[in-house]
Chain A
Amino acid sequence: MSYIRERALDLVIVLFGVSIITFMMIRLIPGDAVAIMLGANTEVTPERVAEIRARLGLDQPLLSQYLTWVSGVLTGNLGESIWTRRPVTQEIAAHVWPTLQLGILALAMGAGLALPLGVTMARLRGQGFDIGLRIGSVVGLTIPSFWLGIMMILLLTSFAPGLQVLGYVPFFEDPLGNLARLALPAFALALPILAHLSRLLRSAMLDALQQDYVRTARAKGVPESQVLFVHALRNALIPFVTSVGIMTGYLLGGAIVVEQVFAIPGLGRLILGAISERNYPLVQATILVVTVSFVLINFAVDMLYAVIDPRIREARRG
């Protein structure tokens, strides 16, 4: 319990820091909301600019803007988008599903395929299959996902013109259309994960297979598949799970790029759009939400160790 309490305190400190950093950063980017709102289309007088600033609440001192915001957040009010006046919680809720679904699909593809591939690579160490996949994984790690995305769209539309692969439809409206549109972006997002995780698992497995207990198990006559998937894999999973936790952070970053290429209305697009239109409350709230989820996921990963490795469980109890 004290472990959980400690982590919760960490969480509060991290969030306080994040709130100050996001609040300051978006305001320190040169150029203000008013200039961007006006565009090049109109004749503007300084009085008009002042009136618009007042309308958006940007004429208040920074500290009071910050205090207003933080006290709002503590009461569950994350503020309103300065353009549409919609509560930002609504905006975030509308954008969270595509990203969540994309992330889960990508993680399932990446981690799901990395397991068998990593184990097989370790098993067939030094053979053609292993070497081929290791080269492939370097390629997978180095190809930028936006390039991969565009190439996949190009290829698919030239082989199957008329295929609707761009944009997004909610799963419950059109499940097949939803999966059709998400398959490519999820794959583009999954490839680097797959490459990274399979390499990681391969070396962790190689390490585990050198251990005495594996030799003992083989000597006892335990079937090879059981040696691989029960004895060795279980021990190789610790670094794997840590990496999966860190990957969720990568996923959010990668999602920004992939959502951009595939025109998917997710959190990445929301953040990018909010920054470029200097929509202060929206940027602050979205980054806060993303950070909280990242911290929570890592918290969950920490808990998972205990499930995988009884030694950690014991150490904590003691």
Chain B
Amino acid sequence: MKAWLGSTALAAALICGGLSGLGAPAKAQTLQVAVDASPAGLDPHIITAFTSFQVVNGTIYEGLTGVDKDLRIVPVLARSWTISPDGKTYTFSLVPNARFHDGTPLEAADVVATFNRVLSRDIASPLASRLAAMERATAQDATTVVVTMKEASAPFLSSLSTIAIVPRRFEADKDALQRAPVGTGPFRFREWQPNSFIELSKAEGYWGQGRPTLDGVRFNIVPESATRQVGVSSGQYAMLANIDAATALQLQGRPGVRIAETLELAYTLVGMNVSKPPFDNPRVREALNLALNRAEIVQAALFGAGVPGGPLSPALSEWALPVSQFPCYTHSATRSQELLRAAGHTAPVPVTLLVLPRQDIRDIAQVVQAQLNRAGFRAELRIPELGQFIQDWRNSNFDAFVSTNAGFPDPDDYFFRTFRTGGSTNVFKYSNPAADALMDAARVEQNPATRREQYNQLQRMVACEGPVAFMTYGQLFTAVRDTVQGFDIIANRSLSTLSTTSIRR
């Protein structure tokens, strides 16, 4: 009987221990955020995946420019700038009182060193292409940076928002910032327990007046979606950042939880391989566009949380044409079948769709499959493991694929890499001299009105005959406790508005 008593006592002690630990008070004014994955590192020039981006962008690190909640490019560390008439010289004037978290003041030499770091072969930063148009940067004096360009670049200011400025002593250091980031932002890095949490604390003496209001931010790494939901419902977490529609809809209406939402920049697409039949024929590509019922996809696969969209996110209201401008976006299975017959296909056209192995994309792919099969195609789905998908995608080893693409505040980032002959993500092997000419011209165009007209033409040109059937732009959600104030969700998934966030007591 002794064994029985002993183990019962042990169990009782464990349970009582569990219950008596209830009341540990939450640290005042530290925002508890739950995120799903641990970043692989925090060096803003080496790791650019969203898991790292959302922790450091606008919180620890700042660029010369930034993106506000309406996706406009705004001054951040560059207080102002002038651009020469030929668009080839930029002169940036830095904010005078910014300091890095190690205490050193921000100077023009740090900006120059940062650019050199991003371009260095040794660092091998994936961001290097963002500075491809730059010839060189020089420090004119401590607070003035002059950038000379190889050619004018309309998206340059937007690209600069992605380049975090780091202290110059890290120019050749590949390792230190991965573990312990040092920036100029409103929060400084405090502690990182891998797979557990990353904690930031208020940066004393931050150059932005009156910011931040929080004492700190703690990113709790909670991989299980159900656990995150329970955590925010019970108040253990004050924010679930950048969550999907399914999670957001389940949290909608829970007491004490508020959902912030915005339209995504990223889109879902059917990408077609134009280097082989059947999609080498523009009529078949148009037929696929007609076969898609985008409104049905939004309802069936996105739970209604999204909109049908064309080549640019409707969130870029200055640039995006409404879908009513694209005739092939009006769903018609009969018109699709007619086009396939005109292209010389008598039987249903067999196509294999390579599908990104992610739940929301699988759901969409199934709806797409059903729609295609009703409109003269015979679609099969192939859903490989992620690594295999990336490999097939990169080697253009597909008839067509269903996937999602990231979006950006500037249209050049949507188009050039995707549709330009030889573009870095032009896995469709699309090549259209007229479209190339428009993209090249718009890239260097200084006059916004002319540039807009060029992109309007381009959108009409690629919408129906291009290698991509754009489908939907989803809603992006962030769930917060209703005590959280001053937070704005941004479509590029940056949490930079944490600098104005506070918790009502």
A-side residues, CB < 8 A to B, are 29-32, 35-45, 48, 51-52, 54-55, 83-86, 91, 94-95, 105, 108-109, 112-113, 115-116, 119-120, 146, 150, 153-154, 157, 160-168, 174, 176-177, 179-181, 183-184, 186, 225, 229, 260-263, 265-266, 269-270, 272-273, 277, 279
Contact = CB atoms under 8 A, between A and B. Distances in A.
A96 to B, nearest CB: 12
Given A30-B384, A183-B15, A86 B7 contact: no
B97 interface: no
Interface string B92-132: 00000000000000000000000000000110101111100
Given A116-B8, A265-B196, A31 B387 contact: yes
B121 A51 contact: yes
B391 A112 contact: no
B11 interface: yes
A59 to B, nearest CB: 12
25 contacts: A29-B385, A29-B387, A31-B386, A37-B126, A43-B413, A43-B424, A52-B126, A83-B178, A84-B194, A112-B3, A112-B7, A115-B3, A150-B226, A150-B227, A160-B22, A163-B234, A166-B231, A176-B24, A179-B18, A183-B18, A263-B227, A265-B195, A269-B195, A273-B194, A277-B40
Interface of B: 1, 3-4, 6-8, 10-11, 14-15, 17-24, 37-38, 40-41, 46-50, 53, 121-122, 124, 126-130, 174-175, 178-179, 193-197, 220-224, 226-227, 230-231, 233-236, 266, 384-391, 394, 404-406, 413, 417, 424-425
B10 A108 contact: yes
B7 A113 contact: yes
B232 to A, nearest CB: 11
Nearest to A174: B24
Given A115-B7, A179-B14, A273 B195 contact: yes
B24 A164 contact: yes
Nearest to B52: A39
Name which of A44, A54, A105, A168 has the most chain B CB atoms within 10 A of its CB. Answer: A44
Contacts of B413: 43
Name which of A45, A176, A269 has the most chain B CB atoms within 10 A of its CB. Answer: A176
Given A51-B121, A180-B22, A157 B234 contact: yes
Nearest to A154: B230
Contact of A31 (B220, B388, B424): B388
Contacts of A108: 7, 10
Give the top 7 A-B pairs by smallest Cβ distance, nearest first. A31-B387, A180-B21, A116-B4, A112-B7, A183-B18, A39-B49, A30-B387
A263 B21 contact: no
